Amino acid sequence: MGVAAVLPGPADFAAWRNAARGLLAAGVRPEDAEWRVAGDAPGLFAEDAPPPAAGAAFHVPRAFVELAEIAIRHSDPERFALLYRVLWRLTHGEHALMQVATDPDVVRLSAMAKAVKRDAHKMHAFLRFRQVETEAGTRHVAWFEPEHHIEEAEAGFFVRRFAGLRWSIVTPRRSVHWDGQALSFGPGGRRAEVPPDDAVEPLWRAYYAAIFNPARLKPGAMRAEMPRKYWRNMPETAEIPRMLAEAPKRVAEMVARGGSAPNPNPQRPRHLAAASRVAADMDLLDASTDPKAALAALARELAGRNDLPDFARRATQAVFGEGPIGAPLFFVGEQPGDEEDIQGRPFVGPAGRLWNRALGDAGVPRDEAYVTNAVKHFKFAPTGKRRLHQSPDAGDIAYYRPFLLREIGIVGPRLLVALGATALRALTGKAMPVMKTRGTIVDGPEGLPVFATVHPSFLLRIPDQDGQQREYAKFVDDLRAARAQVH
């Protein structure tokens, strides 16, 4: 005779755990347990046994609990049974089961958790609110169709992100409501109940059209990342057919212009215009919710290039920037040195230590500074045991420039600070004399201001101490002046 465990909701981990405890304590084997969600049709067992009372506590590996908490949100009706079978095995002599990555149950559980996480990511990136005027004031309403039972689990994300708004998210199975103070959940709804249009949509459309880079058009990847079912909820995707049609023409224009796209709307704030244009691909959809994910995607993209310069293949790794998203000051050096190449972090060698000290003396707090390089790989000549730094040439700078520009777009700084000639060239797109330009502001990508100063390694190369001190003081003055620009 089987035993039915009836759960109050489809993704209620605490309830599943309680029921599982009871079944386990009663010695109910996995094949004898029937799992159901209250309200679903009864299964094969003629008689429902009452849900077993909570039994004795059991200890299972953390890895199982972490996976189970996520996998239970999967829409596969077999998930509860699978979780119970794994639990049974863990508590019946297979305590190390979670380490057997090839075990079919473990593989399935991991795949479920992964699918749930992916669904959550899509919800973060593709959900769009529409503004609705009600008698009680403005409310934002979104329709979304998740694959899995993620509404409750992801509600917190939207509370953190839109704490100041009153909003509702409606899905076919659930609705989530935030009134500015408290969350509540209700039954699902229908798409037709969510207003199709509002005044905010033209803005989204304009924004999306502006960030779209036709040269990087990958319709297959676009569809895989953003299935059509999400498109129809996203006002900006109304622009997709037009953009696809215009892509070849726009690429030709960009090539003719040397890679920079036209500014469709000079009225937009400089900062937004720059950020949106240079960020330039579908990763920006991530960036709108998770800039760190967009930076990671950028690094992956560089690693996947098959036309990297030879020196990049000799380097240990690409080194991207470091610092807070939204830092007002964005420092650009030349390229990673020997230590940076090994550690995978910018400015951690001698020049970096000097820059750090000068930053402190100039009173620039670390959370105001993001630091990166124009060239992302260490270029060196392998001479015996030592790796001798080689300066990047104009071709190297041009190769990495799109990555630098997109990094800027993701971080969204107010002022770019060029440390030395390579950075100045990468940021302005042309060769400029550093000593004549230092301390002044010149035009950077998309009109973002660039403040020029020397590279800290220039100070390290000064032979006499007096000269060193004099130049150090000037460098600190420059950093102070840069800071004053954003305060």
Instruction: Write out the residues near ligand URA by the rule CB under 6 A.
Output: 333-337, 340, 346-347, 349, 351-352, 373, 457
Q: HSE-up of 116 (CA within 13 Å, CB side)?
A: 26
Strand ranges (E), 312-448: 329-333, 369-373, 380-383, 386-389, 415-419, 441-443
Q: Which is nearer to ligand URA, 89 or 345 (CB)?
A: 345
Angle between helices 62-71 and 104-126 (to 10 degrees): 50
Least spacing, CB of residue 341 vs ligand URA, in Å: 9
Least spacing, CB of residue 471 vs ligand URA, in Å: 16
Residue 186: phi, psi to the nearest 5?
-145, -175
Least spacing, CB of residue 366 vs ligand URA, in Å: 16
Q: Which two tokens stand for residue 149?
A: 């039972």
Q: Which is nearer to ligand URA, 10 or 349 (CB)?
A: 349
Q: Which is nearer to ligand URA, 153 or 450 (CB)?
A: 450
**Is 148 in contact with 73 (CB distance < 8 Å)?**
yes
**Is 150 in contact with 116 (CB distance < 8 Å)?**
yes
Q: Which is nearer to ligand URA, 333 or 413 (CB)?
A: 333
User: Which residues fall within 8 angstroms of residue 469, CB to CB, at 6 or more apart?
Assistant: none
User: Which residues fall within 8 angstroms of residue 442, CB to CB, at 6 or more apart?
Assistant: 424, 428, 432, 449, 450, 452
Q: Which is nearer to ligand URA, 158 or 378 (CB)?
A: 378
Contacts 24+ apart (CB under 8 A), 144-147: 144/169, 144/170, 144/171, 144/233, 145/171, 145/172, 145/229, 145/230, 146/119, 146/122, 146/171, 147/75, 147/115, 147/119
Q: Which is nearer to ligand URA, 103 or 338 (CB)?
A: 338
Least spacing, CB of residue 454 vs ligand URA, in Å: 11
Least spacing, CB of residue 398 vs ligand URA, in Å: 17
Q: Which is nearer to ligand URA, 131 or 317 (CB)?
A: 317
Q: How far apart are CA 157 and CA 151, in angstroms?
A: 10
Least spacing, CB of residue 292 vs ligand URA, in Å: 20
Least spacing, CB of residue 171 vs ligand URA, in Å: 46
User: Which residues fall within 8 angstroms of residue 68, CB to CB, at 6 or more apart?
Assistant: 13, 16, 83, 86, 87, 109
Residue nearest to ligand URA (CB): 333
